[in-house]
Amino acid sequence: MITYVKKDSVIFTEVDGEAVLLDTKAGTYFGLDEMGSFVWKQIENKLNADEIIELVKNNYEIDSSQLDIIKNDIGSFLSKLEEKSLVYQGDQK
């Protein structure tokens, strides 16, 4: 499975309960909700997409019937991060 790696120019910070990604190279920033923030932290921990999905499932007590929705949502989120040049695909685990 693919591992996503954050770009060196991207800084993650949490302020007053809000999570923000700042791309210092492009001068842009992006707000994250609670789940987005959780997923970003797992990217920083170098987990692959399957490992991230499993952690989300366990930490948010996702019912197995909703697993496909979560997989699609996380896959879409990871793709958007890549489109915005905040991450790139690293080694496959």
Q: Where are the domains of the chain?
A: 2-92
Q: Does domain 2-92 have CATH number 3.40.50?
A: no
Whole-number pLDDT of residue 1: 78
Whole-number pLDDT of residue 91: 72
* Residue 29, CA atoms < 13 Å, CB-side half-sphere: 10
Tens digits of pLDDT across the chain (93 residues): 799 999 999 999 998 878 999 999 999 999 999 999 999 999 999 999 999 999 999 999 999 899 999 999 999 999 999 999 999 999 754
Whole-number pLDDT of residue 18: 86
Residue entry with tokens 């800084």? 11
Whole-number pLDDT of residue 92: 53
List Cα–Cα distances, 82 to 21, 65, 70, in angstroms. 13, 28, 18
Q: What is the pTM for the complete model shown? A: 0.92
